[in-house]
């Protein structure tokens, strides 16, 4: 039978946050809840009736909590096969009730190691019962649903609400795979720690393709027919203050937004609006409100349903302005107390409070029948990197605009052209097969939204193979250009600038982004 109702659930979690909505769904469907220790106390504080695991097993927690769930009545309830008459008979004989859902949030071993805690504390964070519960439930996914990360709570709550407290076989298989990914990563981190100083330590860095971090099963991948899973600790990067679970596409756009805003993290109030990983609006201003208004003006059509990121606390004035637009995600370092109610007025709007975190300095991507790795593109050019190659040098305002445009260009899909003034993106041409097409697209978009390009600047992610881009830009009113240079025909583009009284600076650094 593919569809199975959940009638009994075992919950044993370290972190209790985000669990409440899932518990409420289970209560609404009359699910019997089993639990231990702190989880039991939390469930009862939510108004749930809970059966203690020790009442189920008839055996108390022992050894300071090291042994709580390791008992045949627990594992038998998870592992017995509902389609096997012999298993059902033995379960009845020994008074073993079926457990249809297992929810486990493992002890934070990796975080404890990272904190520099003493060895004794690290060892106590090696989860035994939790790992065993996950493996048992995942093994028996034919009958049992397993939740292996708090990142999955919201999605499972939505799933159960939509399917009247039941799950299909494919649902259970999906979450079982995520559980095995979680246990695999967890055991790898334990191996790395325990093997230090032994002849096995060299193996601890093997298998670069293995997923890193806890596994979060997503609603689906890039499209509904594709399964999707995120590997990593989103909780270390964000506090989700409101909204539905992040989807695959949300996560891709959130990553692009966060990486772009790193360019402006410590400067003036900044706002960026992204759609399909490309910025459709970026602005710097004296206030966050003005930065958002100017970013939105760049392309209010593309901004609909986009991802917004800012580098300052969202205040009430900015929140009121933001609330007039439909957007998927808002990322900010903090939210003022009087701003949150305005932003939380839409049920599904995702609000993320970003925490300081170190990002990987390597990027890995699957390709063909293997993978490729590269250093992350962490270089950004400033005025000090600009080499003036034309008769005219850019003015101070143009130089600031060129630096601003170059930062945006670096984070835009190639081939790309960015048109800007100091502190405001005017338009960009993204992902085109020719640089001329990218430039024409940018000019057309700028004019469509009422921007006068007279005196604006242009940034290109790679060199100009011919002078045609400079000629087109000059005719549109562009007065300064930044590009990496390196073409055998650089002199032609430089000459085209000189003939039009334009300034050009070279950086020597290309920023392709595919």
- Catalytically active residues are 139, 276
User: How far is 293 from 360, CA to CA, in rounded Å?
Assistant: 32
Please report which helix (H) or strand (E) contains residue 84, including its range: none
- First and final CA of the chain: distance in angstroms? 45
Distances (CA, A) of 320 to 142, 323, 492: 49, 5, 50
Q: Which CA distances in Å does 397 have to 243, 408, 456, 480?
A: 41, 17, 10, 10
Other Cβ atoms within 10 Å of 58 Cβ, number: 9
Residue with tokens 């409420």, as numbered in its chain = 24
| Residue 418 C-beta-side C-alpha neighbours within 13 Å | 32
Residue 236: Cβ within 10 Å count: 15
Ordered DSSP codes for 267-333: SS-EEEEEETTEEEEEEE-SSHHHHHHHHHHH-TTTTTT-EEEESS-B-HHHHHHHTTS--SEEEES
Which has the closest alpha carbon to 131: 188, 176, 179?
Answer: 179
CA nearest neighbour of 69 among 118, 43, 103: 103
**417, 387 in Cβ contact below 8 A?**
no
Q: Which two tokens stand for residue 87?
A: 């298993």
| Angle at CA of residue 423, ends 271 and 482, nearest 5° | 120
Q: Residue 230 CA to chain centroid, in angstroms?
A: 8
Question: What is the spatial distance between Cα 457 and Cα 476, in angstroms, rounded to a whole number?
Answer: 11
Q: How far apart are CA 463 and CA 484, in angstroms?
A: 6
How does DSSP classify residue 19? -
CB count, 10 Å around CB of 87? 16
- Structure tokens that stand for 172 in this block: 């259970």
- Give the DSSP H or E segment for 499: helix 490-499
Give dist(CA 122, CA 114) in Å, integer: 10
Query: In a 10 Å sphere around its CB, with 0-12 CB exposed, 13-18 middle and 19+ buried, how is residue 252 labelled?
Result: middle
Q: How many CA atoms lie within 13 A of 433 on its CB side?
A: 0
Bridging pattern class, strands 307-310 and 329-332: parallel
């Amino acid at each position: 039978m593919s569809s199975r109702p959940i009638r009994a659930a075992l919950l044993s979690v370290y972190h209790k946050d985000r669990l409440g909505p899932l518990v409420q769904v289970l209560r609404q469907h009359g699910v019997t809840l089993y639990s231990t220790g702190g989880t039991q106390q939390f469930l009862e504080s939510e108004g749930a009736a809970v059966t203690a695991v020790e009442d189920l097993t008839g055996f108390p927690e022992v050894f300071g909590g090291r042994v709580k769930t390791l008992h045949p009545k627990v594992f038998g309830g998870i592992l017995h096969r509902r389609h096997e008459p012999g298993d059902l008979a033995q379960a009845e004989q020994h008074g073993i009730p079926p457990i249809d859902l297992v929810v486990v949030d493992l002890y934070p071993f990796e975080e404890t190691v990272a904190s520099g805690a003493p060895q004794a504390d690290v060892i106590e964070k090696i989860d035994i019962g939790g790992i065993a519960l996950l493996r048992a439930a995942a093994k028996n996914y034919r009958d049992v649903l397993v939740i292996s990360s708090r990142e999955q709570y919201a999605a499972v709550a939505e799933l159960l609400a939509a399917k009247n407290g039941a799950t299909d076989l494919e649902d259970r298989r999906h979450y079982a795979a995520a559980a095995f990914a979680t246990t695999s990563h967890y055991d790898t981190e334990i191996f790395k720690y325990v093997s230090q100083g032994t002849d096995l330590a060299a193996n601890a860095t093997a298998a670069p393709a293995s997923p890193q971090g806890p596994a979060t099963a997503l609603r689906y991948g890039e499209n509904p027919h594709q399964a999707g899973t995120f590997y990593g600790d989103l909780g270390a990067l964000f506090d989700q203050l409101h909204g539905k679970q992040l989807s695959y596409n949300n996560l891709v756009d959130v990553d692009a937004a966060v990486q772009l805003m790193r360019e402006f993290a410590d400067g003036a109030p900044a706002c960026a609006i992204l759609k399909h990983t490309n910025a459709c609006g970026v602005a710097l201003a004296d206030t966050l409100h003005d930065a958002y208004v100017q970013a939105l003006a760049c392309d209010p059509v593309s901004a609909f349903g986009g991802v917004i990121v800012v580098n300052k606390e969202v205040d009430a004035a900015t929140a009121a302005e933001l609330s007039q637009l439909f957007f998927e995600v808002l990322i900010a370092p903090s939210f003022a107390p009087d701003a949150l109610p305005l932003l939380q007025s839409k049920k599904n709007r995702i609000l993320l409070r970003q925490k300081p975190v170190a990002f990987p300095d390597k990027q890995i991507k699957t390709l063909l029948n293997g993978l490729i790795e590269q250093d992350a593109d962490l270089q950004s050019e400033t005025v000090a990197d600009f080499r003036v190659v034309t008769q005219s040098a850019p003015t101070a305002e143009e130089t600031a605009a060129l630096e601003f445009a170059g930062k945006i260009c670096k984070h835009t899909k190639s081939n790309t052209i960015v048109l800007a003034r100091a502190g405001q993106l005017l338009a960009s041409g993204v992902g085109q097969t020719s640089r001329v097409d990218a430039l024409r697209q940018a000019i057309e978009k700028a004019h469509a939204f009422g921007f006068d390009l007279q005196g604006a600047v242009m940034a290109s992610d790679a060199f100009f193979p011919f002078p045609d881009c400079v000629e087109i830009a000059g005719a549109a009113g562009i007065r300064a250009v930044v590009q990496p240079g390196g073409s055998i025909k650089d002199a032609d583009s430089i000459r085209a600038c000189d003939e039009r009284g334009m300034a050009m600076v070279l950086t020597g650094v290309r920023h392709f982004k595919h």
